[in-house]
Amino acid sequence: MEKFTVKPDPDNKSLFETISAIDQSGDEIITHIIQEKPISLYLNNQEIVTLMTIGDYLEELSIGYLTNQGMLSIKDSIISIDYDEDINTIVVRTDKKTNYEEKLKKKIQTSGCAQGTTFGDIMDNFEKINLRKDIFIKISWIFSLLKSINTCPSLYLKTGAIHGCALCDQDKPIIYMEDVGRHNAIDKITGYCRINNISTNDKIFYTTGRLTSEMIIKCVKMNIPILISRSGFTAWGVNLAREAGLTLIGRARGNRYLILSGSERLKNDR
């Protein structure tokens, strides 16, 4: 399988601005800064949330967000997705009526950047999910993935101030998304997989961000058995990973890493 079916486009000028700045020596330089704009998401006739995003893969982001929040099930048929650029609004329409008035009262601001929002019932059915135990990761794959993802031309390398997530098949990253919040990047991947009927229960997930409770919950709900980050962990995130049987690998930089959950899936091939 080829690497990167989807990858960042650092040449997409709609996603960043080019401005002048003064560096530490007092010299004027030209630099790039990432775009950030609000997108109001509607499900049928109901406003769900306003997302701060760089503005690419909006259909994938919308579907992924609604899916990960339990508002859009696999059985739901999506009739249309309409984006109005003038008012920064995207509307997802389904074949049945929906009403999440009570759910929307339980908003929680997450620890993610870009004002991530989740809901109080996101843990529903969490304990019933059984991650595949026959999926494994070789130590060599960890370092191969780090090299492939970190050296891929990206908006992060061009502008900074952005997070990336990648869905990987063994040692090959296949879907690489970026956004100002890691929660947006994972939602884009969820949406892309749903639109393209890609199974995630045998995949590995990589994120540049912290391994928080939100990231663990979303990965488990996507049935992904292995999660890797170059960053660290939160205590609740680790507890949830252990409860779900998720393999959790963090602080993966250079030739180092820490594994705090699911070490039985790790194979030493070095």
The model's pLDDT over 139-167, given as tens digits with 9 standing for 90+, comes to: 999 999 999 999 999 999 999 999 999 99
Instruction: Taking residues 74-89, report their average pLDDT.
Output: 95
pLDDT at 183 over 50: yes
Closest CA to 237 of 258, 256, 218, 264: 218
DSSP secondary structure letter of residue 264 = G
Contact 177, 187 (CB under 8 A): no
Cα 135 to Cα 210: distance, rounded to the nearest angstrom: 23
| Proportion of the chain above pLDDT 70, given as a percent | 92
Enclosing H/E stretch for 92: strand 89-94
- 3-class DSSP string for 124-174: CCHHHCCCCCCCCEEHHHHHHHHHHHHHCCCHHHHHCCCEEEEEEECCEEE
Comparing 60-69, 96-105, 250-259, the range with the smallest average pLDDT is: 96-105
Residue with tokens 């048929």, as numbered in its chain:
77
CA 239, 104, 224: angle at the middle one, nearest 5? Answer: 35
The model's pLDDT over 215-239, given as tens digits with 9 standing for 90+, comes to: 999 999 999 999 999 999 999 999 9
Could you tell me the pTM of the whole model?
0.91
pLDDT at 1 over 70: no
pLDDT at 117: 55
pLDDT at 74 over 90: no
Number of other residues whose CB lies within 10 A of the CB of residue 269: 8
**Residue ranges of domains in the chain, CATH in brackets:** 37-123 (3.10.20.10), 137-267 (3.40.140.10)
Per the prediction, the chain carries an average pLDDT of 92
pLDDT at 23 over 70: yes
Number of other residues whose CB lies within 10 A of the CB of residue 107: 12
Contact 203, 1 (CB under 8 A): no
Cα 15 to Cα 179: distance, rounded to the nearest angstrom: 10
Contact 224, 205 (CB under 8 A): yes
Q: Cβ contacts of residue 248 below 8 Å, gap of 6+?
A: 211, 216, 227, 233, 237, 238, 241, 242, 259, 260, 261, 262
Give the count of alpha carbons within 13 A of 150, CB side only.
Answer: 12
The model's pLDDT over 106-140, given as tens digits with 9 standing for 90+, comes to: 665 554 554 455 555 556 678 889 999 999 999 99
Comparing 15-19, 58-62, 109-113, 208-212, the range with the smallest average pLDDT is: 109-113
* Virtual torsion, Cα 254, 255, 260, 265, nearest 10 deg: 120
pLDDT at 268 over 60: yes
pLDDT at 104: 78
pLDDT at 90 over 50: yes
